[in-house]
Amino acid sequence: MPAEEVLKPDQKVYYPDPSYQNSALIRDYDELYREFEKDPDAFWRRIASDLLWFKQWDTVRTWDHPHASWFTNAELNITYNCLERHVNNDRRNKVAIFWAGENGKERILTYYQLYKDVMRMGNALKSLGVRKGDRVCIYLPGIPELVVSMLACARIGAVHTVVFAGYGAKALNERITGAGAKIVITADASVRRGGSIPLKPIVEEALIHAPTVEKVIILRTQEPKVGLLDDFELDYEELISQADRNCEPEHVNSEDPLFILYTSGTTGAPKGIVHTAGGYMVGAYYTTKYVLTLRENDVYWCTADPGWITGHTYGIYGPLLVGGTIFLTEYTPDYPDAGIWWKLIEEYGVTIFYTAPTAIRMFMRMGEEWSEKYDLSSLRLLGSVGEPLNPEAFEWFYKHIGKKNCPILDTWWQTETGMHMITTMVGLPMKPGFAGKPIPGVVATVVNEEGDPVPPGTNGFLAIKEPWPSMMKTVYQNDERYRQYWNFGKYGYYSSNDIAMMDEDGYIMLLGRSDDIIIVAGHNVGTAEIESALVSHSAVAEAAAIGKPDPLKGNIIKAFVILRNGVSPTPKLIHDLKYHVRIMLGPISVPAELDFVDNLPKTRSGKIMRRVLKAQEMGIDPGDVSTLDE
């Protein structure tokens, strides 16, 4: 059905158990939002005061469009808040990280153990000449050493750029040279789906034209141990074993860079997004505590790889700032079988599970018999991130994983925003298909091309009107590209490049990227709407839609569909699916062409790369595909 009609009386609304409202840290969303609107600086000052600062700020915010400075002239170190703040209190022996390896190995690090490892790694980096402001590239799989390496960089004021360990040599080289990395930290291999994937050869190829790199630190996990190049490649374990035990945290300015993270490239060439120490710390802490409601006894699992922003903010920094227990694993969701993630939730007593819609839809395709094998009663909160959570996936997640007892957070945010921006906060009514409302601290709305608000139920552009603490500082070595984010409409709002719709209650539905809008005979049709309609059919597991040039209509719609297990592709099914879309969305949204496929091109964070499909259809170069999950 069209977005304009989602406000019909039959719109499903789920009301959480009153106990969730009583236990939520934000008891009254409207009251807190009004408090923020009345005095934004006082709101953020109160949040920031929970954390430890070596020197207090002069002003909370300085806004000189399009640049903002947060907690001006304050001095801090994020690791002091992630580590000492807990070690010096009652969390010294609390588990910071549970890690489960594919080979059955398990590792447990307490806050004190993590603290000691980070200090040694910080000193190891300093012994190699790494100083405040130097860039360090981390190319490691999802293991505790990745967390240690990130925190060690932050400890000494170095700027880390984490590169997903599934990237090839070309993509790795672009990120190393783009950041001007001085040191690369890697491993000899990663483990995936029962096999060993060599990383060292990839790094060697990536370094052929990387003149800024002075040393490579290699974690050797395989037997026999790989050889090292004298004076250039160093053994990770040997290096930290020789390092001093105590490493005082570097005092960094609030506006100093903390990390550079490259975008996934779904909308073009990857950009080096720069996040700064103070504002990012406050945003990560606030949203982990108040949106994810991470508590003292929670075991929290964010399935995103630390190579993505979700893995940074909600896999590592946010939970450690709050003092939570993180669960990390090498296991993929369908190996050794489709029940492994549910088994891990039962074994470790996971209470908060934060994953991507693409994983949820994969589980839907495999069937709920897998989740029924395990006791998931420890779960109290489910989260979704990365793309819009279509209503059918919401329903399945809510019923079969949460057993109708767990609130679902469908979170909207970006690499550029650094933190959650829109969601249905715990305790509020949930509407499948709607991400929710702007969280207190965020001024977001739906506008037309001029930047003026559109009526409820009308499609428009999602825009952010005011700055927030964890906003990106710039695009590395390309501030002009940063400025383009803040030039939407006549008011110069921040553009998210998302099409959205807001209902009469202020709930926002994300309909797809604005560059994923298909103009058919003068009508704007959102790819997310078409895909959601297709997935709502009982035969469909996943779908992607693109616009294909047409001399008469400008574009026609072509859909690519993955069927559920046991369903066979037939001409009648094509007819049925087109009819299904027609009934739900109207004739303008019906795909003119529909192909059945086994897979869809996605980034390794699970986002469908529609431009790759479009390039394939048109026989043109797809552009940067370095993030394509092979």
**% of residues, the chain, pLDDT over 70:** 93
What CA–CA distance (Å, rounded) separates 156 from 247? 8
Mean pLDDT in residue range 223-237: 92
Q: Is the pLDDT of residue 573 over 90?
A: yes
The more confident residue out of 415 and 9 is: 415
Query: Domains, the chain, ranges and CATH?
Result: 112-253 (3.40.50.980), 521-618 (3.30.300.30)
| Cβ neighbours of 552 (radius 10 Å) | 6
Q: Is the pLDDT of residue 7 over 50?
A: no
Mean pLDDT in residue range 208-226: 94
Mean pLDDT in residue range 407-416: 94
What per-residue confidence (pLDDT) applies to 459?
86
Q: Rounded to 10 degrees, what is the CA torsion of 281, 286, 289, 290?
A: -170
- Provide the greatest CA pair distance for the chain: 71
Phi, psi for 189 (deg, rounded to 5): -165, 165
* Helix axes 527-535 and 571-585, enclosed angle (nearest 10): 120
Any residues with CB less than 8 A from the CB of 617 and at least 6 apart, and which?
A: 546, 548, 558
What per-residue confidence (pLDDT) applies to 151?
98
Q: Is the pLDDT of residue 625 over 70?
A: no
**Strands laid side by side in the 299-302 sheet:** 106-110, 95-100, 325-329, 299-302, 352-355, 381-384, 408-410
The model's pLDDT over 307-355, given as tens digits with 9 standing for 90+, comes to 889 999 999 999 999 999 999 999 988 899 999 999 999 999 999 999 9
Q: Is the pLDDT of residue 268 over 90?
A: no
DSSP assignments along 178-236, one per residue: HHT-SEEEEESEEEETTEEEE-HHHHHHHTTT-TT--EEEEE--SSSPPP--TTTEEEH
The model's pLDDT over 546-561, given as tens digits with 9 standing for 90+, comes to 988 887 677 899 999 9
What per-residue confidence (pLDDT) applies to 365?
84
Assign residue 441 a region: left if phi > 0, alpha if psi is -120 to 50, beta otherwise? left
Q: Is the pLDDT of residue 3 over 50?
A: no
The model's pLDDT over 174-192, given as tens digits with 9 standing for 90+, comes to 899 999 999 999 999 998 8
In the chain, count of helices (H) and strands (E)? Answer: 21, 32
The more confident residue out of 586 and 625 is: 586
| Consecutive H or E run containing 237 | helix 236-241
What per-residue confidence (pLDDT) applies to 293?
94
What per-residue confidence (pLDDT) applies to 418?
97
Q: Are strands 408-410 and 381-384 parallel, antiparallel or unpaired?
A: parallel
For the ranges 191-195, 256-260, 261-265, the lowest mean pLDDT is seen at: 261-265
Q: Rounded to 10 degrees, what is the CA torsion of 332, 333, 335, 337?
A: 170
Is residue 10 very low, low, confident or very high in pLDDT (cuts 50, 70, 90)? low
The more confident residue out of 445 and 459 is: 445
What per-residue confidence (pLDDT) applies to 17?
76
Cα torsion angle, 500, 406, 470, 627, sign? negative
Q: Is the pLDDT of residue 11 over 90?
A: no
Which structure tokens are listed for 76? 């801090």
Q: Is the pLDDT of residue 14 over 50?
A: yes
For the ranges 41-45, 519-523, 575-579, the lowest mean pLDDT is seen at: 519-523
For the ranges 2-6, 246-250, 574-578, the lowest mean pLDDT is seen at: 2-6
Q: Is the pLDDT of residue 60 over 60?
A: yes
Mean pLDDT in residue range 437-444: 97
Is residue 249 very low, low, confident or very high in pLDDT (cuts 50, 70, 90)? very high
What CA–CA distance (Å, rounded) separates 467 from 469? 7
Distances (CA, A) of 362 to 368, 372, 451, 543: 11, 16, 38, 12
Mean pLDDT in residue range 91-110: 95
Q: Mean pLDDT, the chain, as a whole number? A: 91
What per-residue confidence (pLDDT) applies to 307?
87
